[in-house]
Structure 1
Amino acid sequence: MSTAFSMAPLFRSSVGFDRFNDLFETALRNEPGSTYPPYNVEKHGDDQYRIVVAAAGFQEDDLELQVEKGVLTISGGGKRDVNEGVTYLYQGIAQRAFKLSFRLADHIQIQAADLSNGLLSIDLLRVVPEEAKAKRIPINNGTQKPALQH
C-alpha cells in the first residue's frame, strides 16, 4: 500500500529548493536490487565524507566512477572473465554487475578514490565558496531607504 502525502507545508518556508521534492521521492522509493553491493556512507568531520563500497573480487579495471549533474555513479562488473576448467560446487562470491547512484549535495567535491582489500573508498569534501557562506546583513535605522535594483 502506498500513501501519498503533501509536501506543501515544507515549501511554504523555503525558497529555491526546486530539487527538494525529487530528493524526498527518491529517498522514499523502494528500489529492489539496490542493496548490492553493500556500502557505508561515513562522516569524518564537518565537511569530510567517505563512501565505502564492498567490491570484493573486483579490480580497478572492473570499476567505473562518474559524476554528472551532481550524481555520483559507481558501476562495476560486466567484463569479468569466466574461469575455464573450474566447476563451482558452491559460488557465494557475487560477481554480477552493479550500479550505485548517490545524489551529492551542493559544493561536494570528490577528493580521491582507492581500492584496497576489497573495499572501494571514495573521499568527498564540501568546499563552500565564500559567496555561498552565511553573511550578516546590516539593518538601517530608518534614515535611508535601501535602493531597489531592477
Structure 2
Amino acid sequence: MRTEYDFSPLFRSTVGFDRMFDLLQHAAHGGVDENYPPYDIERTGEDSYRVTLAVAGFKPDDLNVVAQQNMLVVTGERRSRAEASGGEQQRQVLHRGIAGRSFERRFELADHVKVASADLADGLLTIELKREIPEAMRPRRIEVGSAGNNVLRGPQPQRQVEGQAQVA
C-alpha cells in the first residue's frame, strides 16, 4: 500500500525548503525504471564520496557525466555494434542478458559537493566526489575576552565615527 504525503501545508509556513520537499516527494513516488543501472554510493572519507555504476558494455564515448548545481547527471547511450564496428559483420544474438539500454541516472548533491573525477574500468563507472566548504563558511574560533578588564580601566572616551560627530 502506497501512502501519498501532502507537503503543501509546510509550504505555507517555510521559506527556502522547496528543494527538500521536492526530494521527499520524489523519494515517496519512486520510479518505474529507477533500478538501472545498479549503483553504489560510498563515503570514502570525512569529505569525500564515491558513486559506482555498473555499466557493462558501455565505452567511455557512450557515457556522459554532467555536474550541475546540486545535481549529478549520468547518461549512457550505447551505439549499436554494427555502427560501432563500421558495419563489417552482422551478429545474430540468441539471448540478450546483459542490459545495454540507454539510461539517465540523477543524483542530488549537497551544497559544496564537487565532482573530482570519473573513471571507467572493468564495466564500472566510478565517480569521485569531494565536499569543498568555502573558507568563509568554515567554523572559526572566536577569542573570548574578559569583561573585567574594561571595568578596571574605567569608562572609555567616546570616539568620533568617520563622517558623524557624536554629541554627549
More helix as a share of residues: 2
Please classify the TM superposition score into its range, dividing by the shorter chain length: 0.7 to 0.9
Aligned partner of 2:128 in structure 1 is 123
Aligned partner of 2:161 in structure 1 is none
Q: In the alignment, is residue 94 of structure 1 matched against residue 94 of structure 2?
A: no
Quick one: distance in 2 between partners of 1:135 and 1:7? 38
TM-score, scaled to structure 1: 0.79
Quick one: distance in 2 between partners of 1:8 and 1:68? 30
Quick one: distance in 1 between partners of 2:90 and 2:7? 58
Rg larger in structure: 2
Q: Is the 8 A contact 1:62 1:76 kept in 2?
A: yes
Q: Is the 8 A contact 2:60 2:120 kept in 1?
A: yes
Change (3 A) 1:80 1:35: same
Aligned partner of 1:63 in structure 2 is 63
Change (3 A) 1:43 1:7: farther
Q: In the alignment, is residue 45 of structure 1 matched against residue 45 of structure 2?
A: yes
Quick one: distance in 1 between partners of 2:119 and 2:78? 20
Aligned partner of 1:25 in structure 2 is 25
Aligned identity (percent) is 36
Unpaired segments ≥5 residues, structure 2 = 151-168
Q: Is the 8 A contact 2:58 2:78 kept in 1?
A: no
RMSD between aligned alpha carbons?
3.0
Unpaired segments ≥5 residues, structure 1 = 144-150
User: Displacement of 1:115 after TM fit?
Assistant: 0.2
Quick one: distance in 1 between partners of 2:114 and 2:44? 15
Deviations 1:58-85 (A, max 9, x none): 0000000112232110000143334752
Aligned match for 2:114, one of 109, 114, 122: 109
